[in-house]
Amino acid sequence: MTMTRKIRKAVLPVAGLGTRFLPATKAVPKEMLTVVDKPVVQYVVEEAMAAGIEHFVFVTGRNKTVIEDHFDIQVELEATLRERGKTVELKSLEDMLPKAGATSFTRQQAPLGLGHAVWCARDIVGDEPFALLLPDMVMRDKVGCLSGMVELYNKVGGNIVAVSECDPELAHKYGIVGKGEELDGGFRITGMVEKPAKGTAPSNFYINGRYILQPKIFEILSKQERGAGNEIQVTDAMLKLADEQPFSAYAFGGQTYDCGSKEGFILANVAFALDREDIKPLVADGLRHLIAGA
């Protein structure tokens, strides 16, 4: 087994404006929109907690303080629940909280891209490997995506990128990786290309928004020029890092929902609602009637 440093910290970039969900996101951060009864960002934090993450670094922007409040104790609410004997609801609030001192918040200040957001976390992360989780991407499986990634990382070290399979005809819409040597739970990455031209994709495995990266990425990002969209792209920095360090892919077999898109957000709500025994019968019946009448 490869000796590796433990993945203790996770970076969550939550500074985006959420313009695709206006007017809902005019006053409410897109990460706080709910899938059934939990904010999108909470699903991501719970996935990270299950993988053993000890410290959460939120890279925020203006109008995002409600995220900080969400992951804090709400004294009046908890007192009211306790007085009313709402033990189930009270326990759900207690279980979702990271430990005291286990969250940090830093401002990106300017919308300069995902790579810049990651770079903004450099002083909090320090000189250690870390997880990067895009909060728009919500995963659904018996074993969390990041848990599987950590397991693979503990075997092979280096940098890990989670991937899912897409229809080969749609590969031009995603960041695609090249598939090399098979690993237990994944494979070596031979290359990465962002939105390849139709018919040129090296595989149908797309990067799904979960990464384990070595701290060398911060040095690269500090010198990274702007790329697509006139923004500093983390993919460009990873390509440079791949010249020096190995990259492996964790093949995630569950469902990935892009909650940054309306269709992905709606599908996530349906999928997670059907996982809930308390509401599944009514939701399933309602969906059958809607589809029959469509």
In order of start, what are the domains of the chain with their CATH numbers? 9-260 (3.90.550.10)
Phi and psi dihedrals of 257, rounded to 5?
-115, 120
Report pLDDT digits (tens) over 149-189: 999 999 999 999 999 998 888 888 888 999 999 998 899 99
Report pLDDT digits (tens) over 206-219: 999 999 999 999 99
User: What residues contact residue 155 under an 8 Å CB cut-off, 6+ apart?
Assistant: 1, 2, 183, 184, 185
pLDDT above 80 (res 112):
no
Query: How does 198-219 read in b/e, with b if 16+ C-beta sit within 10 Å?
Result: eeebbbbbbbbbbbbbbebbbe
List the one residue out of 183, 151, 163 whose CA is nearest residue 51. Answer: 151
User: What residues contact residue 79 under an 8 Å CB cut-off, 6+ apart?
Assistant: none
Specify which residues 137 forms β-bridges with: 258
Please state which of the ranges 104-113, 202-211, 229-238 shows the lowest mean pLDDT: 229-238
| pLDDT band at residue 36 using 50, 70 and 90 as cut-offs | very high
State the burial class of residue 108 (Cβ atoms within 10 Å of its Cβ: 0-12, 13-18, 19+). buried
Instruction: Give the model's pLDDT for residue 265.
Output: 96
Task: Report how far Cα 206 is from the mean position of its chain's Cα atoms.
Answer: 14
Q: Distance between CA 39 and CA 92 in Å, rounded? A: 13
Please state which of the ranges 69-78, 123-132, 267-276 shows the lowest mean pLDDT: 69-78
| pLDDT band at residue 294 using 50, 70 and 90 as cut-offs | low
Whether residue 40 contacts residue 24, with contact meaning beta carbons closer than 8 Å, is answered with no
Please state which of the ranges 86-95, 127-136, 245-254, 270-279 shows the lowest mean pLDDT: 86-95
pLDDT above 70 (res 35):
yes
Q: Distance between CA 260 and CA 276 in Å, rounded? A: 23
Whether residue 67 contacts residue 29, with contact meaning beta carbons closer than 8 Å, is answered with yes
| pLDDT band at residue 229 using 50, 70 and 90 as cut-offs | low
**Percent over 70 (pLDDT), the chain:** 97
Report pLDDT digits (tens) over 48-84: 999 999 999 999 988 888 999 888 888 888 889 888 9
CA angle 231, 236, 242 (to 5 degrees): 160
Token pair belonging to 28 = 């409410």
List the one residue out of 165, 131, 118 whose CA is nearest residue 51. Answer: 131
Residue 118 three-state SS: helix
Instruction: Give the model's pLDDT for residue 228.
Output: 65
Q: Which residue has the higher pLDDT, 252 or 193?
A: 252
169: number of Cβ within 10 Å:
11
Report pLDDT digits (tens) over 230-244: 677 888 899 899 899
Instruction: Give the model's pLDDT for residue 197.
Output: 85
Specify which residues 39 forms β-bridges with: 34
pLDDT above 90 (res 220):
yes
Q: Distance between CA 176 and CA 196 in Å, rounded? A: 8
Q: What is the mean pLDDT of the chain?
A: 90
pLDDT above 60 (res 225):
yes
Instruction: Give the model's pLDDT for residue 227.
Output: 62
